[in-house]
């Protein structure tokens, strides 16, 4: 699907508390060398008092500031998350309240695991094509430390907390966005109410290296573009070895991929917008970027957007 959208601003928030690999060595049988060599992760962030909606709000405030607009101009808020702090109201409703939005605003959450932000971005991009909507906030926010079993070395080493947000409005034919999102039903990885994340790491790894490449090629084909037309690829930050395998298979330099997994680990739906926000701090000029996500469910998808 191609939708004319314009990205006006980006923002992110991460907790101050840093959990290093050496910290995890004290909790489970692992080592810094083992974690880094297999995942690329050196540290991750962990909430102390922050909730998912507070982090989403703080990331949104930064995105609005960088977009140089007021919250009164926002008509849609979509939050991608699997770690809401309550079942209802939605995290997006809390964000609207914290932003002190008084006018009518459509606000809701999306659960598509680690692909959630790409799903949410397509939803919001579709909605703002309607005349009654002006601008939308699209957010990914996770407090994954709240659903981690810190005796399970297969999962507790991987995940971190954080949030990222973008402000978008309807664009024109010069700034089209292209989207490809789908799923393949699989119940391997689960997060039940009141329990911890469970994951078959090997199965996810094999799934990911297949669908990441497929998603990239599919959205490029739909957009009638080549990989050379893309300035950078911002993938979901799950495992550095996954991206290295994809880069090798596609004969693409790792320099093409934007990675910050070493600092934050896997922040699920927050990872792409968080990485994008940091990317925009370094690249002020307009760039054409490709997002690619994959996650439990299994869900996967990609988008090409000018930022």
Tokens in use for 244? 């290295």
* 49, 85 contact by CB (below 8 A): no
Tokens in use for 86? 């309550």
Rg, the chain, Cα only: 18
Distance CA 32, CA 71 (A): 43
* 110, 56 contact by CB (below 8 A): no
**Residue positions annotated with a catalytic role:** 114, 236, 266
* 155, 149 contact by CB (below 8 A): yes
Pick the closest to residue 73 from 36, 42, 99 (CA basis).
99
Tokens in use for 109? 């959450």
Distance CA 92, CA 78 (A): 6
């Amino acid at each position: 699907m191609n939708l004319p959208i314009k990205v006006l601003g980006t923002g992110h928030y991460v907790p101050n508390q840093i959990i290093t690999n050496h910290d995890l060595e004290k909790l489970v049988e692992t080592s810094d060398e083992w974690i880094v060599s297999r995942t690329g992760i050196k540290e991750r962030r962990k909430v102390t008092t922050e909730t998912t909606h507070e982090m989403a709000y703080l990331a949104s405030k930064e995105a609005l500031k960088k977009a140089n607009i007021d919250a009164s101009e926002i008509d849609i808020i979509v939050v991608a998350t699997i770690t809401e702090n309550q079942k209802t109201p939605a995290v997006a409703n809390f964000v609207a309240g914290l932003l002190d939005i008084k006018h009518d605003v459509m606000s809701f959450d999306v659960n598509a695991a680690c692909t959630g932000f790409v799903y949410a971005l397509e939803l919001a991009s579709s909605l703002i094509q309607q005349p009654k909507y002006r601008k939308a906030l699209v957010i990914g926010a996770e407090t994954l430390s709240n659903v981690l079993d810190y005796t399970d070395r297969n999962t507790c080493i991987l995940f971190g907390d954080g949030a990222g947000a973008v402000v978008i409005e309807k664009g024109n034919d010069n700034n089209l966005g292209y989207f490809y999102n789908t799923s393949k039903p699989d119940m391997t990885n689960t997060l039940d109410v009141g329990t911890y994340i469970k994951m078959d790491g090997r199965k996810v790894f094999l799934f990911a290296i297949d669908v990441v490449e497929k998603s990239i090629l599919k959205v490029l084909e739909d957009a009638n573009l080549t990989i050379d037309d893309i300035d950078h690829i911002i993938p979901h930050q799950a495992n550095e070895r996954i991206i290295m395998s994809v880069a090798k298979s596609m004969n693409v330099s790792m320099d093409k991929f934007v990675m910050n997994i070493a600092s934050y680990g896997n922040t699920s739906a927050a990872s792409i917008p968080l990485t994008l926000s940091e990317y925009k701090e370094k690249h002020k000029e307009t760039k054409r970027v490709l997002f690619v996500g994959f996650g439990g469910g299994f869900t996967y998808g990609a988008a090409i957007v000018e930022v």
